Every structure is written in C-alpha cells, then in structure tokens.
Structure 1
C-alpha cells in the first residue's frame, strides 16, 4: 500500500476571528489521513490567535512579525511548514469532510501537475459559482483573467456544466493545492504583489517551468469572498490593475510583450474614463496610481530574479484565443461556453 503524501492546510489569517470561528470547524473535520493544520497569522490585532489556541489546540500556529499581505505572508509562513503538498486556504472558506482526497488523487496520477483547485461555489448561494475561482481560471490574449463559470463580475449557476477535470491557466488562491517542491522551485509568490493576482503570476511561472495546473470538480468548497477587500474598493482596483501589468511584463514572451501592453494601455484608459463617467473618480485615480507605480517598478525590476523558459502565451493551456471583454460587451457572450461562438 502506497504512503499517502503529507498535506498541510495553511490558513493565512489577519484579524479574522469571526471567519475562523465560523469556518475553521469544517476544516478540522477533514478526513484526509496524513494531514496537518496551520493558521499563519499576519500580525493580527484582534484575538484570533488566542481563540485558535483555546478552542483548536490541534491546529499549529505560525506568527508572522508583520502583515506582508497574501503573497509575503504565505512566503514567510511556508518556510516553516514541511509537507509534500500545501493547501493554501482562505479564512472565509467552508469545506466538506472529504474535500482533500479527490484533489490529491488527481495530482498523484500525474506528477507534472504542480497545482490544482477544487470547484469554488458561493457560500451565501451554494448553487452559484464564486467569483474568485469558480471552475478554474483562464486568461485571454491580452492578459484579462476570468473563470469557467465567471466572466467579469457575472457568475453562473452550477448545473454540472463544468464537471470535467481539465487543465486551466491559473488556480484560485482561495483554495490552492500546490506541491511544496514546485512552490519553492519557482520562488513562491512575488511579494511585490502584496495581494491580488499573485496566484495567477505563480501559476504562469509554473507553466513556464513545464508544469500543469488543473481543476478537480469532485471537490467542492464554499467561499464568502471579499473578506479583506470587497469588490469596488479603490484599493482593490489599484492592486488588480498594477499587479496585472507587473505580471504581464514579467511573464510575456518578448515577442508578445509590447503589442499586448500597448493594447492594454488603450483599454485601461477607456476603463478609467468609464469609471469617471460612472461617478467613480476614486476608481479612475486608482488606475492612474496603478500605472504610475507599475512604471516605477519596471525601471527597477531585475529579470534575473527569475530564470524560466520564455514561452508564447498561445502555447499554454487555459488561454482563450480572443479578447474576452470584446466578446462580453459587444457580442453579448456572457458565459464561458458562449465566448467562442
């Protein structure tokens, strides 16, 4: 009988007492046999650490000295975790007892699978896919991210239409299964991102290194979403635009970089004007700041930080060979399955 790979579920917490109280019990009911549980605390100022110590003594606690966001926080914490597979789980996710086993079984069938995600449904409407990952992340030719089951802010009801396991471009950071060896091989998360898009950047680098990213429909988890920054928050707008640009500059093949980024600049200017016209000047300012900080970052970025093969975007799985926002807004293609019609 083969030995089960060791799995460590690591929940990054920041002032999340209410989430831990609500969702940690479901994680503790997980049935996987070779399992460790961790709460990695990002310098919380509430009593969440004391709560875990008092009520969940079986959970290991890692104390980060500062709040370095999702990316830096996990990078620091995972240096202290020994396991074959990490499961990075948001503090606002409810799981079912057997949620781990199907994903591990899928990953063990092919050791080229570096990362995998379960199906992500909405906690408050459990028939609906959830924004942060739905049935697996994709990207279009201009670097816009979306999911099977979620295009822009529009989510679909789960009627079994995405119940096929398949390769995707990126796996959600809300419930990310990743081989520890692969995580460290490509340098973990980029701490410059702080939060948002860091999992897409990580998965892109894994693909450049020759690994697969997959989706496992047999495992279902339920995500609240927006626990740190809700949709529409200008800070979230800033991070999404800035980090997307940084990710494109880092990972695009030189032959693709300038054409993609020049088109993105034009479309992002339109997005900023649209925000102003919609009475959201803070969003317009967030897009401006994202570009300003991106250009500053680019002047100092050292490409020797990552030594990975350069691959054309269209060579990779999980890439839509079209412009998603064009088809969504002008061709009225509102679901993943209608994008290519």
Structure 2
C-alpha cells in the first residue's frame, strides 16, 4: 500500500528547510509531494535543488487549505493520501502503523498519527493530540486537549479507538472515499475543513481512526498564529457551517441557535479581555455565515443523499459547560 504525502506550502521556505528533511528521510518507500499555493519566496527553487526526488505541484494562486489540496490531489495517484502540514517533523517508521491500520479495516477512510508538540515534546499538540471529537454543539476537542488546556503525554491514549475527526495537520485519507463525499469544502478556505470532511465520511458509513504507534511533532501556528483574529473568524464561521451541513438531527436548528448564543458570550469575553479584534472577528464570522447560509443548506441536502441512517451519540453534550462550569480540563474527566 503506497502513500502519497502531500505538503501544502505557501511562502514556507524556513519551515520546509526545517521539516522537509525528516519527511523525505522517513518516507522513502512512498512518494512526497510539495503542493505550492503560489508562493513568492524561494520555496520551490530550494526544494528542487535540495530534494529533486520530491514531486512539485504548482498552483497559480493561493487557494487556501481546502482549495490547495483539492487541486493538488488530482495529481496524486496513490490509494492513501497524507495531507501533511509543512511544520511537521515525522519519526522513523511512522508510516508502517498507518498502512497496518488501513489494512485492518476496510471501512476506515481517514486516520491520523499521534500529534505531539514540537516546542514541548512531552505534551500533546493542540491541533489534533490523540484524536478529535465533537460535543453535541459541534465544539471540537481532543483526547489530550480541551480548549487551550493540553495534557502531558503519559501514553494514556495509546489504545485504538474510533474518532469523530482526524487532524488536518497530518490527515491520512483514502482517495476514493475523499472524492466520494465531495473532497474538501473550499468555502471554508481554512480551519475545520477536516472536521467537515470527517463528518461527511462518517455520514457515508466510514470510520475515522488513529494509529497511536505512529508519532509526529507539530510546530503549530506555522501559517496562522493562534492569536490571529483571522483564525478566530474562520473557526467560528466554519463551525456554524458544520452544524448546518452535517447535523441531521430533528433539533438541529435549536442546536444552531444555542451555539450562536454561546458565540455571543465568547465575543463578550473577548471584549472583557481587551481583545476587540477577536470580538469583531466573531461578528464578521456570523455575517459571513448568513451570507453563505443558502449555499450550506443546499450542501446539507447533498450530504443527506448519501448519508446512512446510523449515527453515533456524542459523548459530551457541552464541552463548554464541562470546562468552564465543572472545571474539567482533560479528556478522562469529561467523557
């Protein structure tokens, strides 16, 4: 089973110089691609000179995470594709557990490795930790990370388990299943596209999994820092998109309303913390959400056409309540 490892890049020369060597070194039986989102730095010339074995996919404009990968994956023939951030250091033999996992169950369509923090290697990394889940209100959380509280890794999550979503920082997906559910939604541009994709894969009857014996180290914030209001904008808007497209329960409108109320409270909290730019980002996120609502309702009907009747009940109704009211800040305490 061959894997196509696709690294999306935009003006990331320094990150490629730091992280690409480990990917090339530890992926020699597979194919490494750099998909470039119209960089203006020396990224491509450096890759071509230093790593001629790496295949280059060039795009004529910055299409973001979703659009960039959708274009790039048309040029990738491998059965399994890894969507890998350009700020990931991989470890020796990291791909063997992944191929074993996919061979073990044909219903697995997407998976991730264990994500540890490159800046603090004893701890999980925010973007995916030991696998992602959603509460009833579509707030994402992870085994190893609740909101901004990240746990130290004591191998407490080394068991195999089904996930709600796998991290887009190092997302392995079957190309056939990826195309079957319509690829990544380019309306998202950045952030939470992998959650939407995995939710649609689950609707189609596939499983999302983790190979905990495969480890990578993620720098995080390599493209858009955590404190950037643009990240706040995308996360809030795209999370609402996820509910409209993928929550097919009878009371989804009530869930959407409650979520928007909680968004308002989050905005007030930003104001109290003297972060007006993030408050404005939430307002803009809601305005953009209303602007795209009609399109998302159409996509909801598209998903319903292939969705199975089976569904899983979220382990947690409200991670916000568990974290801010019950003061529970790790996965074991909230599940």
Deviation, structure 1 residue 308: 2.5
> Are the equivalent residues in 2 in contact too, given 1:253–1:310 (CA < 8 A)?
no
Structure-1 separation of matches of 2:251 and 2:194: 21
Q: How many residues align?
A: 332
Contact 1:32 1:101 in 2 (8 A): no
Are residue 206 (structure 1) and residue 201 (structure 2) matched? Answer: yes
Contact 2:22 2:89 in 1 (8 A): yes
Of 6, 10, 23, 2:6 maps to: 10
Cα gap change, 1:283 to 1:310, in 2 (>3 Å) = farther
Distance 1:191 1:273 in 2: 30
Secondary structure (helix, strand or coil) at the match of 2:306 reads: coil
Find the aligned partners of 1:118 and 1:284 in 2 and give their Cα distance: 34
Structure 2 unpaired stretches of 5+: none
User: Is 1:325 aligned to residue 332 of structure 2?
Assistant: no
1:1-341 equivalences under 5 Å are 5-31=1-27, 33=29, 35-301=30-296, 302-303=298-299, 304-306=301-303, 307-309=305-307, 315-316=311-312, 319-340=314-335
Aligned 8 A contact 2:84 2:169 in 1: yes
Q: Is the 8 A contact 1:167 1:213 kept in 2?
A: yes
Instruction: Check whether the contact 1:253–1:311 (CA below 8 A) recurs between aligned residues.
Output: no
CA distance in 2, matches of 1:120, 1:206: 22
- CA–CA distance in 2 between the matches of 1:173 and 1:124? 19
- Aligned equivalents of 2:308, 2:103: Cα separation in 1: 27
Structure 1, unaligned stretches of length 5 or more? none
- Any conservation in 1 of the 2:316–2:334 contact (CA below 8 Å)? no
